[in-house]
């Protein structure tokens, strides 16, 4: 299994500012993902965080808006830049361990932009 600590758990931010969300895993993992879950909606994959290289972004998401870092196999950050109210959502970190097929999720970060 994998235990994920995601911080902050929630925040209220002013439009035009940026927020960095941290994801710390208790063991080395192969794959790390960042998702967005808008109210009452399913999960939308933002990007795959690649260790030591640039993240792989899904259609509709760009690095300038959602820069991601992954300096090692246990840690990643997602920044939501130049926020607007439309960015209000839950952001989830997820990991998959090598040789496993189960995804583990952090508790999520509930972001409200005012």
Partner 1 sequence: GDSVTQMEGPVTLSEEAFLTINCTYTATGYPSLFWYVQYPGEGLQLLLKATKADDKGSNKGFEATYRKETTSFHLEKGSVQVSDSAVYFCALFRTGNQFYFGTGTSLTVIP
Q: Does 62 bind partner 1 (CB under 8 A)?
A: no
Binding of partner 1 by 67 (CB under 8 A) = no
Is residue 96 close enough to count as binding partner 1 by CB under 8 A? Answer: yes
CA atoms within a 13 Å half-sphere pointing along the CA-CB vector of 79 = 12
Cα distance between residue 82 and residue 103, in whole Å: 30
Out of 33, 34, 55, 87, the residue judged to bind partner 1 by CB under 8 A: 33
Of 13 and 31, the one with the shorter C-beta distance to partner 1 is 31
List own/partner pairs for 49-57 with CB under 8 A and 24 or more apart.
49/76, 49/78
d(CA 10, CA 13): 10
Task: Please identify which residue in the block is written with the tokens 């439009």.
Answer: 15
Instruction: Using the rule CB under 8 A, give the single segment among 21-29, 66-74, 79-87, 93-101 that binds partner 1.
Output: 93-101
Contact residues for partner 1, defined by CB under 8 A: 4, 6, 33, 41-43, 45, 48, 92, 94, 96, 101-108
């Amino acid at each position: 299994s994998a235990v994920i600590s995601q911080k902050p758990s929630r925040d209220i931010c002013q439009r035009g500012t940026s927020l960095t969300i941290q994801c710390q895993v208790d063991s080395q993992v192969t794959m790390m993902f960042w998702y967005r879950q808008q109210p009452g909606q399913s999960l939308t994959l933002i990007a795959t965080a690649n260790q030591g290289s640039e993240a792989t972004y899904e259609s509709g998401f760009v690095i300038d808006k959602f820069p991601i870092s992954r300096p090692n196999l246990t840690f990643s950050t997602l920044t939501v830049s130049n926020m607007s109210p439309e960015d209000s959502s839950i952001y989830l970190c997820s990991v998959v361990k090598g040789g496993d097929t189960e995804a583990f999720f952090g508790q999520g970060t509930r972001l409200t932009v005012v």
